[in-house]
Amino acid sequence: MKKCYINGTGCVSSQKTINTAFLQDIIVNENENVLELSVPDYKEVIPPAAARRMAKGVKNGIVASHWAMKEAGVHNLDAIITGTGMGCCIDSEKFLKALIDNKEEFLTPTSFIQSTHNTVGGQIALGLECKAYNFTYVNGAVSFESSLIDAKMQLDEEEAATILVGGVEENAEATTNFLQLTGIIKPKEQSSYSVLDSDTTGAVFSEGAVFFVLEDDKKETTYAELNDVTIYNTLEKEEVEAKLESFLKGNGLSVNDIDAVVLGYNGDTLYDGYYTILADGVLKNTQQLYYKHLSGEFNTASAFGLWVASHVVKLQEAPEVLSVNDVKAAGYKNILLYNQYRGKDHSFTLVSQC
Amino acid sequence: MSRGVAITGMGIISSIGNSVEENFNALIQSKPGITVIENITTVHKNVIKVGEIKKTNGQLAAELGLAADNNYSRTAMLGAIAAKQAVNNAGITDINEFNTGLISATSVGGMDMTERFFYDYAESDEHRRYILSHDAGDVAHKIADQLGLKGLVTTISTACSSAANAIMLGARLIKNGKLDRVIVGGTDALSKFTINGFKTLMILSDTYNTPFDNDRKGLNLGEAAAFLVLESDAVVKQQNKKVLAYLSGYGNANDAYHQTASSENGDGAFLSMEKAFKISGLAPSDIDYINAHGTATPNNDLSEGRAIIRAFGNNVPEFSSTKPFTGHTLAAAAAIEAVYSVLALQNGVVYPNLNFKTPMEEFDIVPQTELKEKEINHVLSNSFGFGGNCSTLLFSKS
Amino acid sequence: MEALKQELKEKIIDVLNLEDIAVEDVNDNDPLFGDGLGLDSIDALELIVMLDKDYGIKLADPKEGKAIFQSIETMAKYISENRTK
């Protein structure tokens, strides 16, 4: 069975994460309930003629994938696999509003075409003229992990050697308003919004695009080996520990072998208990890291989490801004990631130094 | 791949029937389900025809025994009905007995509710519960809830090839040993969003769709859901399961030509068929029937026809599109056509391509227009979507 | 006619998001599709809606657009002869 190496990454987020050293220019913003995107230079990557119809999610996806491929030094892909929980919200809303406002008349096709969930993957393929396998996963907070599972199987089975995989979400006005109405996004004027010291429900949201080049060969740019990924649609808090242990066992490991765990804390008091039950229990003596205070919450925020974990393994350093507890590992051989969203779409991901 | 992955159960709801049996009867009796739209108020009512399931949301909810304050989209209800049928058909009594997954597919998700309440949400909280049923993943969660399934649940959305890709992923997960059993398929309800979207592309027919006809005017949209149960050889053996058919091959490729249109020569379609042959170890000459994507848009049928000729040369087997029966059911299309492909294998029939009159001027191949009985050992089914997404599935007799 | 041409240039740039192109860059006889402005079939559908919405001209078949949308010149001519508003 072939191995799976993370050989390149590209990250567009609410932080400055393009063309900068790992977490060099971090700003911890606890004043906004929706973190603004740090807009990358689109023109550097996308010709204006091609960009003219693209909403920001598509552009961010193309930019992130461009940098991931550049870093890995790859030009040809055997598969493009994208995860996006909410898809292309901006164009969906645009078309839907026009439809309602104009009573189904004088509608134009562009926003409808761009509203399709697989627009990002399709546009990346179109730009690269890549005729390879092209899948898009759209299942909430496991959209990105589903993409990883698919990619890993294809590398295992030697159906593919070089795969581009990523997660993308974009914020759109109405969708963001709706999520505030339901309380999923924390209300405005409730700041400051601390993730770890939160006493309110809901989360601070944001958006972004994080892409990875996964290959079956280790090379100079390799960050880490992606060992395993598993997902569960629903778990009770009491079930998480057993699932975590069986996941590790499946990889010949136990909790003692884990040097650091990256947890998906988002400051939602209704659901952060899924993390604390582990943090106060089986992972008590393990170094604990978090990242959603930097990235904000969104369906594929866990891709930002993997981006963080990959860097920690590669650089053998975990910046203080990521720390949840005081435990410090001597080195970072095995890192476990656990994420869930509102008690659903749980995922365990394991990466290791190689 | 030996014989492939075993298919042990099927469920379907479409405009031609509420069960596998009803769908099959409509197909062999040439009874299409294309009508004037009834459940959605649209200004296009008189200029389009659709493959609509003649059940209201209330009726669907009652069938599923949902509470009055449920937040199921129509897409989720259709999906749950089809998935339950499939699980029953496979004789599964304990859904979590084995390591079981669910791979759903949808393009619109809960758009049917969002388009209804879009401006209401800000005004009152009456319908706000539907905000959380908008995203595509909610559909899979609802279906999993209905099945009581706990495990690997995910959703694929690659426009009109979505369900083929869900079936493909399911097969990989079984082959890879990650799952013992997986429920795979797709669901899409009609919505104003898609009706108007396809309208803007000027590819909706104002009459009944006529695949592979020289004078074809476009597609009819439809709604449907279908799910299949795939099981590992070990489970089949252990439970002495009846295998309906095998999924023997699959392939996905990208046309990388245009956002919505297919390339002139059908590159993506040709590549996806080629990959499916490679995985299955079958040759084009082994195929007895092609269930074509055949949407009846000028572009699709030309591109697909050319790709078929490239793949099959002078020996194109009988082919037909079943879209004149059901309309184009988008993300569900490949799942309902997977059910039809399995039924073709089981019953030895090629379905008629209804409404065909005039051969296309660009090539010589013509679809099968009458019901034909013959021994069928292998069926090829194509599904193509926006973003250049092309998928092929191969089904083989058990 | 000149005013209509100017109006069309502005509209096309706006509707099709041609950010990098100015009205002065578009000559009356430049091809709009292919080598000229580089418009494609999706743009053609956008222009068909523009004809309907702004000038009251309905095209039933997208193929009809091909001759009409050759250039600003052909578009202006067709619109002035067929407009209902």
Query: Do A109 and C19 count as a contact with CB atoms less than 8 A apart?
Result: no
* pLDDT(A347) > 90: yes
Mean pLDDT of chain A: 97
* pLDDT(B159) > 60: yes
Query: Do C62 and B261 count as a contact with CB atoms less than 8 A apart?
Result: no
Query: Do B159 and A126 count as a contact with CB atoms less than 8 A apart?
Result: no
Distance from CA of B195 to the nearest CA of C (A): 16
**Confidence band for B144, pLDDT divided at 50, 70 and 90:** very high
Cα–Cα distance measured from residue B376 to residue B290, given in angstroms and rounded to the nearest whole number: 11
* pLDDT(B1) > 60: no
Task: Give the domain range for residue C57.
Answer: 2-82
Query: Do A107 and C45 count as a contact with CB atoms less than 8 A apart?
Result: no
CATH topology of domain B249-397: Peroxisomal Thiolase; Chain A, domain 1 (3.40.47)
* pLDDT(C7) > 60: yes
Write down the pLDDT at residue C20: 84
* pLDDT(A45) > 60: yes
Mutate to test the interface with C, among B47, B201, B202 (most CBs of C within 10 A): B202
**Number of CB pairs, chain B paired with chain C, less than 8 A apart:** 12
| A323 shares a domain with A259 | yes
Q: Which two tokens stand for residue B349?
A: 């029939």
Write down the pLDDT at residue C35: 79
Closest CA to B144 of B53, B72, B63: B72
**Residue in B closest to C49 by C-alpha:** B200
Distance from CA of A55 to the nearest CA of C (A): 12
Cα–Cα distance measured from residue B325 to residue B210, given in angstroms and rounded to the nearest whole number: 10
Write down the pLDDT at residue B260: 83
Distance from CA of A219 to the nearest CA of B (A): 26
Query: Do A118 and B165 count as a contact with CB atoms less than 8 A apart?
Result: no
Distance from CA of B220 to the nearest CA of C (A): 17
Write down the pLDDT at residue C61: 84
Maximum alpha-carbon separation in chain B? 63
* pLDDT(B146) > 70: yes
DSSP state, B387? Answer: T
Residue B233: other Cβ atoms inside 10 A: 17
Q: What is the pTM of this model?
A: 0.97
> Which of A112, A184, A231 faces B197 most closely, judged by CB atoms?
A112
| A90 shares a domain with A135 | yes
pLDDT (mean) for A327-338: 98
Write down the pLDDT at residue A188: 92
E strands along B232-354, which residues?
A: 245-254, 289-291, 318-320, 349-350
Segment 241-260 of chain B within 8 Å of chain C by CB: 258-260
CA A36-A268-B157 angle, 5° bins: 65
The mean-pLDDT minimum among A33-47, B214-228, C59-73 falls in C59-73
Main-chain phi, psi angles of B229, to 5 degrees: -105, 125
Residues in chain B within 8 Å Cβ distance of C48:
202
Query: Do C18 and A110 count as a contact with CB atoms less than 8 A apart?
Result: no
3-state class percentages of chain A: helix first, strand second, coil last, to nearest 5 = 35, 20, 45
Cα–Cα distance measured from residue B300 to residue B349, given in angstroms and rounded to the nearest whole number: 25
B328 is an active site residue: yes
Number of structural domains (chain C) is 1
Within-domain flag for A221 = no
Model pLDDT for residues B17-69, shown as the tens digit of each residue: 999 999 999 999 999 999 999 999 999 999 999 999 999 999 999 999 999 99
Over B207-227, what HEC string results?
CCCCCCCCCCCCECEECEEEE
- Whether chain C has a CB inside 8 Å of the CB on B197: the answer is no
Neighbours of chain B (3+ CB pairs under 8 A): A, C
Exposure string for A12-41, b = 16+ CB within 10 A, e = fewer:
bbbbbbbeeebbeebeebeebbbbebbebe
pLDDT (mean) for C34-61: 90
* pLDDT(B291) > 80: yes
- Domain map of chain B by residue range? 5-238, 249-397
Mean pLDDT of chain B: 97
Model pLDDT for residues C15-42, shown as the tens digit of each residue: 998 888 899 999 999 999 987 888 988 9
pLDDT (mean) for B237-257: 97
Cβ(B220)–Cβ(B49) below 8 Å? yes
Cα–Cα distance measured from residue B252 to residue A159, given in angstroms and rounded to the nearest whole number: 12
**Confidence band for B139, pLDDT divided at 50, 70 and 90:** very high
Write down the pLDDT at residue A256: 97
Residues in chain A within 8 Å Cβ distance of C16:
52
Distance from CA of A21 to the nearest CA of C (A): 33
B44 is an active site residue: no
Catalytic residue among B127, B134, B160, B378: B160
Distance from CA of A351 to the nearest CA of B (A): 19
Number of structural domains (chain A) is 2
Query: Do A108 and C38 count as a contact with CB atoms less than 8 A apart?
Result: no
* pLDDT(B158) > 90: yes
> Which of A80, A95, A126 faces B197 most closely, judged by CB atoms?
A95
> Which of C15, C42, C52 faces A109 most closely, judged by CB atoms?
C42
Distance from CA of C11 to the nearest CA of B (A): 19
Cα–Cα distance measured from residue A351 to residue A87, given in angstroms and rounded to the nearest whole number: 27
- Helix, coil or strand: residue A242: helix
* pLDDT(B2) > 80: no
CATH topology of domain B5-238: Peroxisomal Thiolase; Chain A, domain 1 (3.40.47)
Write down the pLDDT at residue A13: 98
Cα A165 to Cα A16, A116, A326, A338, B107, distances in angstroms? 21, 18, 33, 19, 21
Maximum alpha-carbon separation in chain A? 65
pLDDT (mean) for C3-21: 92
> Which of A48, A49, A108 faces C46 most closely, judged by CB atoms?
A108
Cα–Cα distance measured from residue A324 to residue A336, given in angstroms and rounded to the nearest whole number: 15
| A211 shares a domain with A335 | no
Cα–Cα distance measured from residue A185 to residue A296, given in angstroms and rounded to the nearest whole number: 10
Which helix or strand (DSSP H or E) is residue B163 part of? helix B162-175
Neighbours of chain C (3+ CB pairs under 8 A): A, B
| A234 shares a domain with A210 | no
Q: Which two tokens stand for residue B120?
A: 């209401």
Mutate to test the interface with B, among C33, C40, C41 (most CBs of B within 10 A): C41
B134 is an active site residue: no
Query: Do B196 and A115 count as a contact with CB atoms less than 8 A apart?
Result: no
**Which CATH number characterizes residue C75's domain?**
1.10.1200.10
* pLDDT(A314) > 80: yes
**Confidence band for B270, pLDDT divided at 50, 70 and 90:** very high
Q: Judging by DSSP bridges, how do beta strands B5-13 and B245-254 pair with one another? A: antiparallel
- Whether chain C has a CB inside 8 Å of the CB on A1: the answer is no
- Identify the contact set of chain C against chain B, taking CB-CB distances under 8 A: 40-42, 45, 48-49, 61-62
- Name the CA radius of gyration of chain A, rounded: 19
Cβ(A95)–Cβ(A88) below 8 Å? no
Model pLDDT for residues A147-192, shown as the tens digit of each residue: 999 999 999 989 999 999 999 999 999 999 999 999 999 999 888 9
Within-domain flag for A220 = no
Which helix or strand (DSSP H or E) is residue A6 part of? strand A5-12
Task: Give the domain range for residue A333.
Answer: 227-352
CA atoms within 13 A on the CB side of A276: 12
E strands along chain C, which residues?
A: none
Query: Do B253 and A231 count as a contact with CB atoms less than 8 A apart?
Result: no
Cβ(A176)–Cβ(A188) below 8 Å? no
**Residue in C closest to A113 by C-alpha:** C42
- Whether chain C has a CB inside 8 Å of the CB on A108: the answer is yes
Write down the pLDDT at residue A329: 97
pLDDT (mean) for B146-172: 98
**Which CATH number characterizes residue A66's domain?**
3.40.47.10
Model pLDDT for residues A119-151, shown as the tens digit of each residue: 999 999 999 999 999 999 999 999 999 999 999
Catalytic residue among B44, B127, B134, B328: B328
E strands along chain B, which residues?
A: 5-13, 34-35, 50-51, 100-105, 152-156, 181-188, 221-222, 224-231, 245-254, 289-291, 318-320, 349-350, 372-373, 378-385, 389-397
Write down the pLDDT at residue A189: 87
Cα–Cα distance measured from residue B267 to residue A166, given in angstroms and rounded to the nearest whole number: 25
Q: Which two tokens stand for residue B169?
A: 């992923």
Q: Hey, what amino acid is at B356?
A: F
Q: Judging by DSSP bridges, how do beta strands B378-385 and B372-373 pair with one another? A: unpaired
Residues in chain A within 8 Å Cβ distance of C17:
52-53
> Which of A86, A123, A234 faces B135 most closely, judged by CB atoms?
A86
Domain boundary pick from A215, A248, A277: A215
Query: Do A106 and C16 count as a contact with CB atoms less than 8 A apart?
Result: no
Query: Do C46 and A48 count as a contact with CB atoms less than 8 A apart?
Result: no
